[in-house]
Amino acid sequence: MTREETLAQVLQSDSLPTLPAVAAKLLAIASREETTMAEIADLVSMDVALSAKILKVVNSAFYSFPQSIGSIHKAVSVLGTNAVRSLVLSFSLLSIKAKRTGEAFDYDAFWSRSLAAGVAAKLIMSQMKQTDPEEIFIAGMLQNVGEMILARAFPQQYPPLREQAGGDEERLLALEQAAFAADHAFIGAKVLQHWKLPSSLVLPTAYHHSLDQFKGGKPELLRTARVVYLSSLLSGMFYSQRPDLLHKQFRTEAARLLRFDGRVLDRIENSVQAEINQTARYFDLNLVFEHPIEELLQEANQKLAQLNMSYEQVNRELLRAKMELFRVNKELREKNARLEALANVDALTEAYNHRYFQNFLRDEVRRIKRNGKPLALAMIDVDNFKKFNDEHGHQTGDFVLREVCRVAATMLREHDLFARYGGEEFVCVWPETDPDHARELAEALRLAISTHTFEQGLERYGVTVSLGLSGCLGDSEEAAPDALIGMADQALMTAKKNGKNRVEVYSPKTKWFKFKN
């Protein structure tokens, strides 16, 4: 049997799954330039069950929109065509089950692995600029769809091959080539093409196992194929008997293909378990990973050590038990310290969060009451941020917030604090800083942000901030966290009223305020 004969048999098989009517029609009309969002919304709304599922995901933390979305028309307007198409495809694919009873192929397990790969791909892509997380999510889910296609076309021959491969992807590809002269990557891509899916989904499916054969394509498609390939390594750790090998391969390949550093990789690995578990609930899949990657690696190392341990080694391990216990306790302390650090950091901007700021300000107020030195506080608001979000989208808005924090970090002294207060509002605490110096620091921060070029890919943006400044001495009555925050907030409101992109110092007529403009 040649590759072409295998493909023909698959495409002509009555077992070849077909997309539900809504998904098929959506793909057809979405490719036409004249199709409006209203037409797409009307089409999706025809399927009440599908609409309910989409609204459930749209209103979940999968998107984290600040306001509830109550209709498919609103969802299409907010998400856009690509995102809605991806959601429709996701639910449509997840509805494909066994055609006949007694099939050896486990569809539930397959779609669970596919969803995990999709979430992993979205998480990896989120660390890059100019991304489409909805498109990459479905690309990650579809990468191994050829396995399901081959299992339906060859129900007696294919399942034993997967069992024989034992989870080794390269071995499975070799076994497929030997049996069918074609592997699941080729078959999957051809079926996606048959379903008239876009090349942004077809090509990554075809080449994610053979990146070196991807020649002459668009750079963004190669990037997608790389992300899909890496997502299989990342999600595969939860299923593999040797997650340590996949972990090493993932970190090596991510650094080589995407130039990710250790900090980015740690952030991905620390998030992926929770992201997969949460997304599975949104898509009504019975999928729960109980252990994070770090624990999987520890368990794998322990199992490997036990397999290789001789009788003499066991005796030596007993003698080293005290030292090992000390090491474990040290690692536990370090892990707790890392968890505590994560609890103090805002997930989006990586600046300190609101809780940490409140604790820091409280401690500083106590300290200045002991030493009588001054303390300054600035409330900072990104000007016209809601309008910016409406014009450029929430992803660009998130980029701006992160970049504001990055610029601010370059302006901080050793003991200063910059934190996210909430939304587009930030705070800066300057310990042991008198009024004049605080005004200079605030002006320098305002100027640094207003002159900074916010560059995202080919787009450049100008951003300004308004600052409200308050402060006190240790022996003054206003030396209280709530009072300082309230005064700085009033000064910020004045800055907004007076034209924005400026610094205003709180200066009421009350005699007890010692921080003068």
- The model's pLDDT over 386-411, given as tens digits with 9 standing for 90+, comes to 999 999 999 999 999 999 999 999 99
Q: Cβ neighbours of residue 280 under 8 Å, at least 6 residues apart?
A: 112, 115, 116, 286, 287, 288
The reported pLDDT for the residue numbered 517 is: 39
CA distance 194 to 16: 11
Encode 145-174: b = buried (16+ Cβ within 10 Å), e = exposed. Answer: bbbbbbbbbbbeebbebbeebeeebeebbe
Intra-chain end-to-end CA distance of the chain, in Å: 86
**191, 10 in Cβ contact below 8 A?**
yes
Who wins on pLDDT, 95 or 401?
401
The reported pLDDT for the residue numbered 288 is: 86
Residue 14: both structure tokens together: 């009555």
> What is the DSSP track for 203-244?
HHHHHTT-GGG--S--HHHHHHHHHHHHHHHHHHTTT-S-HH
Who wins on pLDDT, 439 or 60?
439
Query: pLDDT tens for residues 430-485?
Result: 999 988 899 999 999 999 999 999 999 889 999 999 999 999 887 776 778 999 99
Residue 512 has pLDDT above 60, yes or no: no
Residue 122 has pLDDT above 50, yes or no: yes
Please report, to the nearest 10 degrees, the dihedral formed by the alpha carbons of residues 494, 498, 502, 503 taken in order.
-30
> Looking at this protein, which amino acid is placed at residue 287?
L
Query: CATH number of the domain at 1-14+97-297, please?
Result: 1.10.3210.10
pTM higher than 0.95: no
- Residue 147 CA to chain centroid, in angstroms? 27
Residue 260's pLDDT band, with cuts at 50, 70 and 90, is: very high
Domain ranges of the chain: 1-14+97-297, 18-95, 309-343, 354-505
The reported pLDDT for the residue numbered 443 is: 96
Residue 312 has pLDDT above 50, yes or no: yes
Helix (H, G, I), strand (E, B) or coil at 505: strand
Pairing of strands 465-472, 459-461: unpaired
Residue 187: both structure tokens together: 């078959």
CA distance 495 to 468: 7
- What proportion of the chain, given as a percentage, has pLDDT over 70? 90
Placement of tokens 């993932």 in the chain? 250
Query: Which residues are identified as catalytic?
Result: 424
CA distance 250 to 296: 15
**483, 428 in Cβ contact below 8 A?**
no
The reported pLDDT for the residue numbered 131 is: 59
Instruction: Identify which of 40-44, 256-260, 324-328 has the greatest average pLDDT.
Output: 256-260
Residue 216's pLDDT band, with cuts at 50, 70 and 90, is: low
Eight-state DSSP code of residue 347: T
H or E segment and range at residue 467: strand 465-472
Residue 325's pLDDT band, with cuts at 50, 70 and 90, is: low
Q: Which of 207, 104, 88 is nearest to 157 (CA)?
A: 104
The reported pLDDT for the residue numbered 509 is: 47
CA distance 198 to 221: 11
The reported pLDDT for the residue numbered 97 is: 80
CA distance 294 to 500: 47
Angle between helical axes of 219-236 and 133-142 (0-180°, round to 10): 60
The reported pLDDT for the residue numbered 116 is: 92
Residue 357 has pLDDT above 70, yes or no: yes
Mean model confidence pLDDT for the chain: 85
Q: Considering the domain 354-505, what is its CATH architecture?
A: 2-Layer Sandwich (3.30)
Q: Which of 237, 228, 192 is nearest to 209 (CA)?
A: 228
Pairing of strands 425-431, 417-422: antiparallel
Q: Mean pLDDT across the stretch 210-230?
A: 87
Residue 516 has pLDDT above 60, yes or no: no
Q: Which residues pair with 505 in a beta bridge?
A: 469
- Using DSSP, how many helices (H) and how many strands (E) does the chain show? 24, 7
Domains 1-14+97-297 and 354-505 fall in the same CATH topology = no
Instruction: Identify which of 59-68, 93-102, 108-117 has the greatest average pLDDT.
Output: 108-117
Weakest-pLDDT range from 40-44, 118-122, 429-433: 40-44
Q: Which of 369, 467, 454, 372 is nearest to 421 (CA)?
A: 467
Query: pLDDT tens for residues 408-423?
Result: 999 999 999 999 999 9
Query: pLDDT tens for residues 66-93?
Result: 788 888 888 878 877 777 777 888 888 8
> What is the DSSP track for 319-344?
HTHHHHHHHHHHHHHHHHHHHHHHHT
